[in-house]
Structure 1
Amino acid sequence: MRTRQFAERAALSAALSLSLLGLGTTTAAADTSTSLPISSYRDMAVDAAHQQVFLSDPFGDSVLVTDYTGQVVKQIGGEAGAWGVALSSDSRTLYVALRDAGAIAAIDTATLQETARYDTGTGAGAYAGPTSLALAGGKIWFGYSTDTWHGALGSLDLSGPQPVVTRDQGLDTFRGAPHLAATPQDPDTLVAAESDGNAASLAVYDVSTGRADAQARRVDPGPDGCASLQDLALTPDAARVVVACASPYYHQAFRTADLSDDGRYTTSHYPNSVAVAPDGTIAAGINGASSPDVYLFPQGDSTAFHTWDFPASSPYTTNTLQSGGLAWAPDGSRIFAVTEDSGSSSLSLQVLNHPQVDTTVTVRAPASSPRNQDLTLNGKLVAPVGFGTGSTVDIWRLDDPLAGEGTMIGSATVAADGTFSYTDRPRAKGAVQYTVQYYGDARHAYAYGSVTVDITSD
């Protein structure tokens, strides 16, 4: 009972301290939904530097820009067949695949003006122009169709005095323009997957030499195949690729080293979207009317820890996620989702704030320790999602558990895997209780853990 009372007082004290500092207690922000002035959608990029979201509007020949709440900032016109988008590593430039212009446009993210346009030499239109973009190996890679039955990879190199386009790579792999995926942590790995055809083709390339050197290929991957591939995303370390295929009715993962099966994420009918946060949390979406629309998974865990179901405008309509319609904010604080209402065919941007997840604290220490000697506490925070840089825990010491009051003696930094340690030098003999408090953040709930050590004579 004393321990419980101490923890309750400590939690109240922490909340009061945060309020006095003007920080307030951590509460989850409400999700929002905003109607969009576009009637088509293909791809999305999130700009953390300016807190903007870019959405391609291929049949409206535009790129729509919103803020983090979904409010429209600008609609950039004149972008013929705006399809895939990719943001530069410094967030200064948005690159847009213009399928119907056979080109790649560069848009300044500060001025929201097109600053350059590069001809890909592919021709333009549905079975020619570029449709997907990824930044890897110091180049801009694009997927395109060579005709109605074949696809290929190309690259745009802007590092020299003149832009250099290289085409016709991966010619023996794809039956349509491939989707592309890359990650900044492993910039020399490029993954491509066919977007057309009944059975998808998946390939991994090393692009460090400037060419797409195939490392692994697989047709119709997975134990149940992969029909009508809709989306793919790499884990931050590029060790795994997660794909969304209309069938089977789950999201599946593959090792990029050899494209061998590496588990599944249990979702439901018609998977169509996937996005991976910087900490590895996986958002998996489906185009199903009767199931949750978006699922959140810890990396490597097949059980979702949170779901969203988008409400429809009426009992007779549905509000469904668009193919490739998920993107994370780079800090992992929220997910952006593009949905369509079946009654009006209107598109909306859903802003889904990351839920606060349950967190536990374990603390370990020797059963006994001499007084006036170093005593090290080791512990770990455990939650479905990782802990960001700068997370800390506070350590309280209660020299007499019956007294019911304790003293905060210090803080410890939490590592990315949730571990922490703290060394104390207790002076009082007898049972000493240590309580570790974690005050939580936007993604983690408050938690505490305690351990008691018998402090003996010197």
Structure 2
Amino acid sequence: MLAAALAAGGLTVVAAPAAHAAASDLVAKLPISSFSALTVDSAHQRVYVADSNLGHYDNKGLVAVYDFSGERVTTITTTRHVSGLALNSDGSVLHVGGRDGILRYDTTTYLPLSAAVAGTDTCGRSMAFAGGRAYHTAPYANSMSDCDTTLTYLDYSQTDNTWQRSGWQDHGRLQLEAGPGDRLMMGQPANAKAADPFLAVFDAGGTTLVRTADRRFADAEGKGAANLKDMAFSADGTKVAVADAAAGTRLLDSGDLSDAATGYPALPSGASASAVAFSGDGKYLARGASATGATPDLLLSPADPSDATPALEFAFEGSLDGDRVAPRGLEWSADGSRLFAVTTNTAGSQYWLHVVQPPAVQYDTRFAQGPTHSPARAVAGEALAVRGRLELDGPAPAEPLKVTATRTDAGGTHELGTATVKADGTFTVLDEPELIGDATYTVSFLGDLTHRPATDLTHTVSVGRAASSIALSAPAEVPMDTGVHLTGTFAAQGKALPERAVLKVERTDRLGTGTLSSVTVAADGTFTVDDLPRARRNTTYTVSWPGDDLHEGSTASATVRVTR
């Protein structure tokens, strides 16, 4: 019956809720279990994703190659782990940060070119191509546990396939980012040897790397230091955006790294900044975040902070889309027509590639007030329907939308799958609550390409014990020496009993009340009671069941006149 009800209600049960992406948000599951770098080759319409695979010096490396439609083109494997990625200025050569050197590949054939020597890397490199050179970080540590604080050098490859120290170095997993006008940016994530880490901009156009701006963010008391997750130059190079897990999105002037006169709105409450990227056409800023539920994980805003156009919002939640945007997991195509986003699950062990084509506008959504449920009295183990309505601004969607639902009770939070939103906005979530007590249903709409996520709808239902019943039949009169034979049936609604019910039997006559032998209900729900009465006149037999954690008790009585 429940299966039929689910089908009738339009509810499709899945293992976990997922962000409902529109057709223009293509999603590919990445063949990696760790992530280190993402880069986009607009000249050949290719996307490169590197699996760092650190942890052992013999681990193989992998670079997955996709086209702009999210189709995997090929996979580049290496004998040792790889990390950073960088493309040269015309996109003809892909530079890959290997453990023992800088690997290079032809971006047309994907065949290896001559490699460049580099310092041994045990922690993962960052790479950027600026001023005609491939810059790379060179960290080394005896143990992975030391990588966050190890001394890291900034080096670059030379035309004779050797490498050269730039002279700049500091502690931790230094990150690099290239920008227009031969700019190079280096950022230092917070670590035990850098309580107030830095951000610096360099001119990479000459033979010597020249620092043009730098900044540390802590105040005189050491508070407010940046928690760097990602950084990006604007399309014209005049601005720098920083994904700061502590402060959100910082917008800085690249000339001196001072705060820009006008910044971007704060991320939604509960979202922690993880990635940032400007589109190459200068129109958009993409901000990635780590968030849960319907809180957006990705926001696309106008690059001009004075433009108050609401952001396009995406919430990722589940096994089809990942749960959040990975740090440094955003890159645009050069023309701004596509955004490539790498998402990861909560454990950071699975990854997805999203290909997003931004529309011109995105509309608000909301749940109407007053969700209802039926039946009015909810009981454990029986079907319950929670009904509501989703209101949408803008044009009607081309395809039916979905909402996701969870139930939270004393046993934790349980995923209930997705429910289809009908043309009038109504939806029905069907469930079988398993425990008595309060059950809170949370319904989420995570948005799509043209609709923003809605604030979650919650509805609490008091779940009681399911009813049980006993029907008892007895003869009206029996001779005392013949004995009494009673028959009956027992039924329990809701969840099936783990074992057959055992019923208590009592006899009341003019001599008093006594307990007879208990009876066990048969598989078909029937039972019998046989007794030799001890006194004449009226004798009452009472059969009862005390109930259990999920079922109410029940009782039934029958009176027999006992004659000589």
Which range moves more in the overlay, 28-37 or 74-83? 28-37
Deviation at 1:341, TM superposition (A): 3.0
Verify: 1:270 aligned to 2:269, yes or no. Answer: no
CA distance in 2, matches of 1:276, 1:341: 24
Q: Partner residue of 2:27? A: 33
Aligned counterpart in structure 2 of residue 107 of structure 1, from 93, 105, 108 = 105
Note the 1:90-239 alignment, pairs <5 A. 90-98=90-98, 101-120=99-118, 122-126=119-123, 131-145=125-139, 148-158=149-159, 162-171=160-169, 174-183=170-179, 185-187=180-182, 189-197=183-191, 199-220=196-217, 225-239=224-238
CA distance in 1, matches of 2:249, 2:218: 12
Q: Secondary structure at the match of 1:312?
A: coil
Work out whether residues 29 and 353 of structure 1, in 8 Å CA contact, stay in contact via their aligned partners in 2: no
Residue 321 to residue 102, structure 1, CA distance change in 2 (3 Å)? same
Work out whether residues 166 and 208 of structure 2, in 8 Å CA contact, stay in contact via their aligned partners in 1: no
- Deviations along 1:280-333, one digit per CA (max 9) or x if unpaired, are 22101011214211111222317553111124139xx96111111111112211
Give the aligned residue type for 1:175: H
CA distance in 2, matches of 1:267, 1:113: 42
CA distance in 2, matches of 1:79, 1:113: 15
CA distance in 1, matches of 2:348, 2:303: 36
CA distance in 1, matches of 2:346, 2:187: 29
Q: Partner residue of 1:75? A: 75
Q: Partner residue of 1:437? A: none
Residue 62 to residue 330, structure 1, CA distance change in 2 (3 Å)? same
Give the aligned residue type for 1:284: R
Aligned counterpart in structure 1 of residue 318 of structure 2, from 284, 294, 312 = 312
TM-score by length of 2: 0.52
Q: Partner residue of 2:477? A: none
Q: Partner residue of 1:329? A: 333
Deviation at 1:63, TM superposition (A): 0.5
Aligned counterpart in structure 2 of residue 47 of structure 1, from 41, 50, 53 = 41
Work out whether residues 202 and 221 of structure 1, in 8 Å CA contact, stay in contact via their aligned partners in 2: no
For structure 2, which runs of at least 5 residues remain unmatched after alignment?
A: 1-21, 54-59, 142-148, 363-448, 451-564
Work out whether residues 97 and 133 of structure 1, in 8 Å CA contact, stay in contact via their aligned partners in 2: yes
CA distance in 2, matches of 1:137, 1:151: 21
- Deviations along 1:167-208, one digit per CA (max 9) or x if unpaired, are 15223xx3223211122x312x21110134254311111222
Give the aligned residue type for 1:210: T
Deviation at 1:140, TM superposition (A): 1.1
Work out whether residues 88 and 134 of structure 2, in 8 Å CA contact, stay in contact via their aligned partners in 1: no
Q: Partner residue of 2:503? A: none
Q: Partner residue of 1:296? A: 300
Deviation at 1:221, TM superposition (A): 6.3
Q: Partner residue of 1:432? A: none
Give the aligned residue type for 2:359: P
Work out whether residues 87 and 93 of structure 2, in 8 Å CA contact, stay in contact via their aligned partners in 1: yes
Q: Partner residue of 1:253? A: 251
Work out whether residues 101 and 117 of structure 2, in 8 Å CA contact, stay in contact via their aligned partners in 1: yes
Work out whether residues 88 and 132 of structure 2, in 8 Å CA contact, stay in contact via their aligned partners in 1: no
Residue 211 to residue 177, structure 1, CA distance change in 2 (3 Å)? farther
Note the 1:410-425 alignment, pairs <5 A. none
Verify: 1:349 aligned to 2:353, yes or no. Answer: yes
Deviation at 1:345, TM superposition (A): 3.7
Q: Secondary structure at the match of 1:283?
A: strand
CA distance in 2, matches of 1:283, 1:233: 10
Q: Partner residue of 1:387? A: none
Work out whether residues 138 and 157 of structure 1, in 8 Å CA contact, stay in contact via their aligned partners in 2: no
CA-atom RMSD, angstroms? 2.7
- Deviations along 1:199-257, one digit per CA (max 9) or x if unpaired, are 43111112222222122221236997344311111112211111112212x21011121
Give the number of aligned pairs. Answer: 317
Residue 111 to residue 196, structure 1, CA distance change in 2 (3 Å)? farther
Aligned counterpart in structure 1 of residue 289 of structure 2, from 272, 286, 307 = 286
Deviation at 1:62, TM superposition (A): 0.9
CA distance in 2, matches of 1:318, 1:113: 32
Q: Partner residue of 1:243? A: 242
Work out whether residues 229 and 274 of structure 2, in 8 Å CA contact, stay in contact via their aligned partners in 1: yes
Q: Partner residue of 1:402? A: none
Residue 89 to residue 231, structure 1, CA distance change in 2 (3 Å)? same
Work out whether residues 322 and 351 of structure 2, in 8 Å CA contact, stay in contact via their aligned partners in 1: no
Deviation at 1:274, TM superposition (A): 0.8
Work out whether residues 152 and 177 of structure 1, in 8 Å CA contact, stay in contact via their aligned partners in 2: no
Deviation at 1:157, TM superposition (A): 2.4
- Deviations along 1:376-425, one digit per CA (max 9) or x if unpaired, are xxxxxxxxxxxxxxxxxxxxxxxxxxxxxxxxxxxxxxxxxxxxxxxxxx
Give the aligned residue type for 2:105: I
Q: Partner residue of 2:89? A: 89
Q: % of aligned pairs identical? A: 30
CA distance in 2, matches of 1:113, 1:205: 32
Deviation at 1:107, TM superposition (A): 1.0
